[in-house]
Amino acid sequence: MKIENFDTNKNVFIIAELSANHSGSLETAIQTIKAAKRAGADAIKLQTYTADSLTLNSQKEDFMIRGGLWDGRNLYELYEQAMTPREWHKELFDVASNEGLICFSSPFCKDDVEFLEQFNPPAYKIASFEAIDYDFVEYVAKKNRPIIISTGIVTHEEISDIVKICKNVGNNKIALLKCTSSYPAPLNEMNLLNIPTIKDEFSVEIGFSDHTLGIVAPIVAVSLGARIIEKHFILNKDIKSVDDAFSLDETEFAQMVKAVRDAEALLGKKQFISGGESRNFARSLYASKDIKVGEKFTEENIRSVRPGYGLHPKFKKEILGKTAKRGIEFANKITKDDY
């Protein structure tokens, strides 16, 4: 899958999620983008919404959060606090471009999409809570940009519907991100073995949007086939935001990037490749005694020993009982021309 000049077939696409970690400061947002570049991210992802994009301004019980990280918060007030102001977007896209980072965003309603179109984003990301809004998914898919969709709360049937919706409007540039929509997410709820299952069943690019603590989960995800990793990124742990509890700082994110790149190197290619360059230390056939011309090869005068410059040991049974075509000194290699 190509996102701008990045090809996920060649390398894992590592996204630093800014989310609400600007904590209401444009300068913090700018410095976070620069830090993401230093940490080795390939992309920075914004979230583009207003509180009205997401919910209604109501104090009724349905609009109150019960349990979890944001227990007792009102949805509208939470989103007002967390939003990235629209007037920041041009500068943030420009900063990312100057840093050599791919920049794109998650819209949350049609109006957000139309606002983002002015920046010619290389992709759109749809959060799992919005992915079940089929009309919205279709609207985004019709823009014919790569579309990255988190599957956190989405059912198997809904994933199938979403993929069909995108393909039915001619958009086959689809990536699904395995995701668990808990903040932070417990390791025992990750079910990362679903990564190859989702890829095989839906024939789309596959990735992982991570809300766990630490960096173990992304490494495991890559080992299972994830080609996109998304992780929340914060400039430093002194910043307080609605997402700080499950975000990595620059040092931690850099460690994750290195670990992911190491995992990529370890995985290598799918075709069978011999596991080592030291073939010369393998066994091969050598004369264990002086052998005269016309003398028969026996268990006593040839052996399979190190190094590996002689004939493959598999030919030993074929050689035994045959006569030598030349004189072979002790410790000289046996070749096919010798019998």
Domain ranges, ordered by start, for the chain: 8-267, 279-338
pLDDT along the chain (339 residues), means of 10: 97 96 95 98 97 92 84 88 95 98 97 98 96 98 98 94 98 96 86 95 96 94 97 93 89 97 90 69 95 96 95 96 96 95
Alpha-carbon dihedral 21, 25, 27, 33, rounded to 10 degrees? 20
Give the N- to C-terminal CA distance of the chain in Å, as an integer: 56
For residues 52 and 313, give the distance between their C-alpha atoms in angstroms, rounded to a whole number.
Answer: 75
CATH class of 279-338: alpha beta
What's the pLDDT at 243? 81
What's the pLDDT at 70? 72
What's the pLDDT at 180? 87
Q: Is the dihedral of CA 143, 144, 148, 151 positive or negative?
A: positive
Whether the bond between 146 and the residue before it is cis, its omega within 30 degrees of 0, is no
- Residue 46 phi, psi dihedral angles, 5° rounding: -100, 175
User: Which CATH code of 3.40.50.300, 3.40.50.720, 3.40.50.360, 3.20.20.70 fits the domain covering 8-267?
Assistant: 3.20.20.70
